[in-house]
Structure 1
Amino acid sequence: MRIPIREMEQFIEEHILKRGLSYFKSGAISEISEITAGEYEATVFGTNEYTVQLKISNNIVVVHNCDCPYDMGAVCKHIVAVIFHLQQDKLELTNPDFTLPKKKKTKAISQQVNELLKTISHKELMKFVQENSKKDKKFRDYFLASFAHLRQNQSKEFYQKQIHSILQTAAGRNGWIGWSEMIYVVNTTKPFLENAEKYLVNKNFNNVFFISTALLEEITEAFQYGDDSNGDLGYLVESAMELLSKLTQEKLSGTLKQEIFEYCISSFKHNLFEDWDWHLGILRIAAELIDEKHDADIILTCLDTINGQYEQERAQSFKLNLLRKFKDEKEVEKYIDEYISNPSIRTTEIEKAFKSKNFERVIGLSKDGIKCDEKDKPGLVKVWYNWLLKVAQVQKETCKIIEYARFLFIVNFHPEQDYYQILKDNIEDENWHPFLEEIIVEITPNQRWTYSELIRKIYINEEWWDRLFLMLKQNLSMENIQQNEQYLSKDYSSELIELYSERITNYIEKYIGRNHYKTACRYLRRMKKLEGNGQVNELIEVFRKQYPQRKALMDELTRV
């Protein structure tokens, strides 16, 4: 869970916040150090002494870990205590409403480590590493991963065993790598990636190949028994694929080049990465290595075996690129005609035709695309209409511009251009409002959110505030009031205050919890901006009398 430090109370349960605050105020944090930029380690005294690790980026806690046994949620009180400390001391954010206890200054952890390393003998250090490697699997895995590059006779199997050991240690007895254990997996596996990058720079390409393929296979398998909700396993796979791609750009020996190519083809044929994006991606790695038509034919044969519509469409586009590189123009054109229903191929052909000003082909391909996709792929229909509009604009055909822009304005999904303005620029002034009224009448019965938003846009652009206010009353919510506030506040300030008052009262009655109280108070402050101070004060008094037992609400009301 990512925790914005300034708003952590919105992300952490109230009882955990209170306990963390209590720990902070009582001076339970004995020492805290910034290990590297943005990475902190702290010792917190509770039932025992616990170590908290945090990584902070842009005032957001992106990684947090504590070695306490708490497992009832993502964040424990020790982590919260350290965040409170950082909030005041390290990040210089808004100070909490309490005084930080004075603590005895201690040396930074990094400084303590450096001093000890200068004192400990080589023999003692060796003994320490040996003993801890025997009794602590995590220590052993991290040690081996960090210094594997010093071993002789590395191989894919060598790295694979180490990565497998890391994953099995994280999985533990129950065979499942949970969310919290993923931090260990990533931190212990990163040295392999770092060493691979060094090998790449030093032209030790064999080891880059060994590390990337070992990672790829072991991490792909780990998806079956690991929680990847944070995308950690995905990150490791992407890194391994990126390493392989970088490797293909180097001047490799013929032997290694062939070995990588054969690995890619073999892993594809044996479905090593089936059902994952890198199943096709591994063929793209192979394609980066080839210079001969024979090798291209091997990849083309593999591509013909891919199943599933989405995967087949990607494979067809990939195949077309290979055909363009290794086959004659006649075969390429034949393939394009056969698979023109592929959206990617159609788009590429339209782009080429538009660039060469072959507008007849653009129109033909776009209209055919509309006919092909209007039943099952309405999103693509909009793409093809956009191309028709672009041609009409170049050719200055006003009637067609209005036809296509009208359609695209109504569908109103990921617009490429401002269709409203295009229509206004091409329709005579005396016909403009009747044209808009036609659209409103046409789309009103559909009752879809996108159509309601489209009508709202018309009202705003035309400054039809009476109709916008009526529309708001028909779709009342605090969010909708706020959304329309800037347009209606000049003429309907008192009405907006009244609407806010009703909705906030209902909201407080229905929902309980600090986050909900914060929401209600945010809208009370909006009432104030509309010059509704009197009404806000009345509401606050009502809430104080009606809900005195809601301590969090009373607390939030003091901040309005």
Structure 2
Amino acid sequence: MNLHKKVSTLSKEDLVELVMDLVKGDENVKQKVEYKLLTPNDEVKASKQLIRKYINAYKRQGFISRGNVYAALKGAELVLQKGREKLVSGEEETAVHLGIAILSIVVEMLQFADDSNGEIGYIINESTTLIRDGSSLVLLSSDHHKQDSIFQLILKEAMHKRYDDWSDFRHELLDVCTVYSARSSARQMLEKTLDKLLTQASTISSWSSSYDQTILKELQFKILERNGELEEANQFINQNLEFENFREMAIEKAIENADFSFAVKLCEDGENNDIKYLGLVKKWKQYRLQVYEAQDEVEKQKEILLEFVYDNEYDAYGRLKDLYPAEKWKTVVEEIFEVLENKSDHLPYVYEYMAKAENRGDKLLKYCKESPMTITELYPYLTDDYPDELNQLFTEYIRREAERATDRKMYRNVCRKLKIYQKACGESIFQEMVNELKQTYQRKPAFVNELDKIK
């Protein structure tokens, strides 16, 4: 049955009767119908009441468990749906009001609800999108009073104390405010607000403070970009190079303009300034490598790529190798192996990677001696040239694993490794090991039972 088609044929009287029957039978249907019939004057107020009603209904001792969060957000979902309908019907101002109504209440839910499933975060993102979309439509109108009113509403919400512990949501609202910055009055208010927040953040020494400063600076930059002030935007970038994103923008712009000497200086300054932050130092070196590639500076490329190899970057190995003729590379790769062997007490993963790529069984044997468990994966590289050493390493490894095994799960794990041992060292040696283990652990019947299952 096509229910929609059948219902559409009902008379007005029959529809009213049907709706009233549904309302009488289900309190939730009654609430939805009442919400649909609200007048514009009271719908924002009623929307807040509806959101809170569902939230309060699922609180247990002041907390909403993960399983109840979805149901507690039903009111917010209904209001969000209405907000989207308002956008379609040309009531963007009301849509923004509804978006803020949702956001202002749901953000506070984070203090007393388990949002492990991300359902609250989803509603917050959707309500912010509603505010953003509504703002874009508000700006298309010629009603400057409406524009000023909505801008001030969003800015006021952004500066509410509820966002003191949720600065990302504050930043999202401030980002929406930047779309109004073409209006001088709005821009002045927004810039004053950003300056105030920057001053507050600069007085605190913490990672979150540095993060906040970066985002606020990016919002200031966005205002310049939105208003087509390109020269001022470029100056702003160069004035804020202590912030990672702005240094990155400056470097990319210098590379784009083929100003390679300036790009290198920006990279080197970044490496010196951020010496305490290894991730950033590496980023600036990667950019410097990019510049040297653009300049075809082979020797300088080699220097950086070699640093990356020593820093366990296996991708750099292939790129470095491509810069050398085959005969010269033989000498270079030996030097790299030697440095890695003497650099620390532990051979890094790049050592194994290089040894496999270079088909160096001698180096892989050394790696397996240091990390015996890798013998189960690397044995194919050793079977031809180092059968005796392979057998000794594998035998010692199996014996150690068997000695550590204390339950059936661990016994089975030993047996799985024995199957690999069988492939690596041959049937006769494998059988000798199985018999040895049965004899050694005859008082562990579960272990012997698992050994008997091996074929």
Deviation of residue 204 (structure 1)?
3.4
Aligned counterpart, 1:423: 320
Q: Secondary structure at the match of 2:165?
A: coil
What do the CA deviations read for 1:457-512 (whole angstroms, capped 9, x no partner)?
A: 221121112321331232233xx445535655676675686467446535642x67
1:390 CA drift (Å): 1.7
Match of 1:292 among 183, 186, 191: 183
Q: How far apart, in 2, do the equivalents of 1:446 and 1:145 lie?
A: 70
Cα distance, 1:233–1:125 mapped onto 2, change above 3 Å: closer
Residue equivalent to 1:476: 372
2:44 matched to which residue of 1? Answer: 156
Amino acid at match of 1:171: K
Q: Report whether the alignment pairs 1:394 with 2:290.
A: no
Structure 2 residue aligned with 1:110: none
CA separation of 1:476 and 1:537: change in aligned 2, threshold 3 A: closer
Distance 1:192 1:529 in 2: 65
Cα deviation digits, residues 186-215 of structure 1 (max 9, x gap)? 566434434433333333324432332122
Q: CA RMSD in A?
A: 3.9
More strand by share: 1
> Aligned match of 1:411 in 302, 311, 323?
311
Question: Where in structure 2 are the equivalents of 1:530-545 lying within 5 Å?
Answer: none
Match of 2:128 in 1: 241
The 1:524/1:549 distance shift into structure 2, 3 A limit, reads closer
Aligned to 1:272, which of 142, 162, 169?
Answer: 162
Percent identity over paired residues: 21
Q: Which residue of 1 aligns with 2:333?
A: 436
CA distance 1:499–1:259, change in 2 (3 Å): farther
Bigger Rg over Cα: 2
Q: Distance in 2 between matches of 1:322 and 1:284?
A: 9
* Rounded Cα–Cα distance in structure 2 between residues aligned with 1:323 and 1:342: 17
The residue number in structure 2 matching 1:364 is: 265
Gaps spanning 5+ residues in structure 2: where?
Answer: 1-14, 202-208
**Structure 1 residue corresponding to 2:247, chosen from 335, 346, 361:** 346
After superposition, the Cα gap between the structure-2 partners of 1:520 and 1:322, relative to the gap in structure 1 and judged at 3 Å, is farther
* Aligned mates of 2:255, 2:229 — CA distance in 1: 23
C-alpha contact 2:93 2:134 (8 A) present in aligned 1: no
Task: Select which of 258, 261, 271 maps to 2:151.
Answer: 261
Q: Deviations over 1:311-354 (max 9, x none)?
A: 10121122122234448566445433321121111111111111
Q: 1:476 to 1:211 in 2, by over 3 A?
A: farther
Aligned-partner residue type, residue 315 of structure 1: L
Contact conserved, 1:146 with 1:191, CA < 8 A, in 2? no
Unaligned runs of 5+ in 1: 1-117, 134-139
Please state how far the C-alpha of 1:219 moved relative to its aligned partner.
Answer: 1.7
- Residues in 1 aligned to 2:47 and 2:308: alpha-carbon distance in whole angstroms: 55
Deviation (angstroms), 1:179: 2.1
- Letter of the 1:285 counterpart: V
- Asked if 1 retains the 8 angstrom alpha-carbon contact of 2:309 and 2:316, the reply is yes
What secondary structure, in the 3-state scheme, does the structure 2 residue paired with 1:288 have? Answer: helix
Checking the alignment, whether the CA contact within 8 Å between 2:180 and 2:187 is kept in structure 1 is no
Q: Where does residue 459 of structure 1 map in the other structure?
A: 355
Structure-to-structure mapping, 1:498-517, within 5 angstroms: 498=395, 501-502=398-399, 505-506=402-403, 508-509=405-406
* TM value normalised by structure 1: 0.64
Aligned-partner SS, 2:58: helix
- 1:38-437 equivalences under 5 Å are 124-129=21-26, 133=27, 140=28, 144=31, 148-153=35-40, 154-172=42-60, 174-186=61-73, 189-250=76-137, 253=141, 254=143, 255-276=145-166, 277-304=168-195, 305-306=197-198, 307=201, 308-326=209-227, 331-374=232-275, 376-412=276-312, 418-437=315-334
Distance in 2 of aligned mates of 1:538 and 1:150: 83
CA distance in 1, matches of 2:391, 2:229: 74
